[in-house]
Amino acid sequence: MEVFDLIKSRHSVRQYTDKKIPQNVAEKLVSYAETLNKQGDLNIQIFFDEPNCFNSRMAHYGKFENANNYIAMIGKNSADLEERCGYFGELLVLKAQELGLNSCWVKLTHGKSAAKKEKDEKEVIIISLGYGKSQGGKRKSKTISDVSDVSDNSPEWYRRGIEAALLAPTAINQQKFKFELKGDNKVSVKSGLVGPCLKIDLGIVKCHFELAAGKENFAWE
Ligand SMILES: Cc1cc2nc3c(=O)[nH]c(=O)nc-3n(C[C@H](O)[C@H](O)[C@H](O)COP(=O)(O)O)c2cc1C
């Protein structure tokens, strides 16, 4: 599937069927996570058939159902850890989507994960996984002009990148980011100042922008 179609087809899904993730699918995800761990200097761990993390009051409150598989985004404490978890976590979310799975980023509405971490590591966020009872649905979105300086003269790759950024999941659907094109090919994106998980959101949004705009067309400023 084209990457833009994949991005369009992803929606948060919190209720899953009880269908297990087959071993060949699980292996593909784990192997991709290993690659991303190397690229992003992270310690991403994936759990299958582990119902305890979403068996908490918070998870029930968040209306999670059959959330028995999840990704724990973990890495050594550093200034850019949250942004890296957002960026590399979203690559995994899209891989899961490509493999026919559904997912949801979950900062608050989960219990204790089974992940093992070193003293200097932090569990930044969880991503639930499974076969959705539905594929999720469209939600409200800001517009291109709310979040960028796109005009009639903007290059096509830039507009495409912003469209993909608007389809990115953000905490409480806050979409607090602003893109600016500087010169022909320098792109700056800044997140808002107040809101939950802004740095994770920024990593996710940059991932979508890069995939749709094409890394060869621009450089981050
Ligand atoms: C960083 C982050 C944290 C999130 N935390 C939660 C959460 O704790 N509970 C939950 O039900 N959804 C959570 N979500 C899912 C968002 O509510 C969802 O992505 C947003 O409403 C946009 O909808 P979409 O993913 O269908 O595009 C989180 C999303 C992100 C990106």
- Which DSSP string do the residues of 15-83 spell out, in sequence order? BB-SPPPPHHHHHHHHHHHHHHHHHHT---EEESS-GGGG-SHHHHHTT-BS--EEEEEEEE--TTHHH
Pocket test for ligand 1, best of 93, 123, 128, 172 (most atoms within 8 A of CB): 172
Q: Do domains 3-130 and 144-220 have the same CATH topology?
A: yes
Pocket test for ligand 1, best of 104, 134, 138, 177 (most atoms within 8 A of CB): 104
Q: Is the CB of 171 under 6 A from ligand 1?
A: yes
Neighbours of 221 (CB within 10 A): 12
The three-class DSSP label of residue 186 is: strand
What does the pLDDT look like over 78-128, one tens digit per residue?
999 999 999 999 999 999 999 999 999 999 999 999 999 999 999 999 999
Neighbours of 26 (CB within 10 A): 18
What does the pLDDT look like over 98-109, one tens digit per residue?
999 999 999 999
- Which DSSP string do the residues of 122-157 spell out, in sequence order? EEEEEEEEE-BSS---------HHHHB---TTS-HH
What does the domain layout of the chain look like in residue ranges? 3-130, 144-220
Q: Identify the architecture of domain 144-220 in CATH.
A: 3-Layer(aba) Sandwich (3.40)
pLDDT at 100: 98
Q: Is the CB of 136 under 6 A from ligand 1?
A: yes
CATH number of 3-130: 3.40.109.10
Q: What is the C-alpha to C-alpha distance for residues 175 and 182, in angstroms, rounded to an integer? A: 21
